[in-house]
Amino acid sequence: MTAAAGGDFDGDGNPDEAFTYQQGPDQWRVRITFADGGGADSAIVEGEDFAPPRPIGGYDIDDDGVDEVFLTVGAGASTVQVGFFSVAACVAQRITQAGVPASFPIGASIGNTSGLTCPGDGTVNRAFAQYVDDDVYEGGFVPYRLEGTVLTEFPGDGAGFTAEEAFALATLDCGGLALP
Ligand SMILES: [Ca+2]
Ligand SMILES: [Ca+2]
pLDDT at 4: 93
pTM here is 0.94
Q: How far apart are CA 168 and CA 10, in angstroms?
A: 33
In this structure, which residues have their CB less than 5 angstroms from ion ligand 2?
60, 62, 64, 66
Structure confidence at residue 50 as a pLDDT band (50, 70, 90) = low
Rounded to the nearest angstrom, the distance between the alpha carbon of 31 and the centre of ligand 1 is 14
Rounded to the nearest angstrom, the distance between the alpha carbon of 34 and the centre of ligand 1 is 6
Answer whether residue 47 shows pLDDT above 70: no
- Phi, psi for residue 165 in degrees, rounded to 5: -65, -40
Read out DSSP for 71-102?
A: EEEEE-SSEEEEEEEEEETTEEEE-EETTEE-
Please state, for a pLDDT cut of 70, what percent of the chain lies above it. Answer: 97
User: Which ligand is in closest contact with the Cα of 13?
Assistant: 1
Structure confidence at residue 179 as a pLDDT band (50, 70, 90) = very high
Rounded to the nearest angstrom, the distance between the alpha carbon of 96 and the centre of ligand 1 is 23
